[in-house]
Amino acid sequence: MAGQEGRRLEVPRNSPAADWWARSAIRTRCAASTDASVDKGGTSSELVADAGITMSEITAASAEQFDGIGQVNAAIIQLDQMTQQNASLAEVFRLQPEAA
């Protein structure tokens, strides 16, 4: 009963108790806001770490692609050299008199 009676008591607005309740509510909201910020900070840190991993993977893939392009370029140069050599040999054979 005493607890129920206490619930009916109203605290005057300008009283020290009202100030205490207001400050208490503000502290509670600040604590909740701080906790939420810390949670978001942890999430942000995880996102930054994930982005770093992704960037490392992109860098590795780019290096691999660069190496592959270099190999394709070398193969094309080699094919071009063989084509020019074949064209030169064909010209030599064309200019030679036919063996009778």
What 8-state DSSP symbol labels residue 15? S
Helix, strand, coil % over all residues of the chain, rounded to 5: 85, 0, 15
Query: What string of pLDDT tens digits covers the 100 residues of the chain?
Result: 455 555 555 656 666 766 776 777 788 887 878 777 766 666 777 778 888 888 888 899 999 999 999 999 999 999 999 999 999 999 998 888 775 4
pLDDT at 98: 72
* Domain range annotation of the chain: 14-95
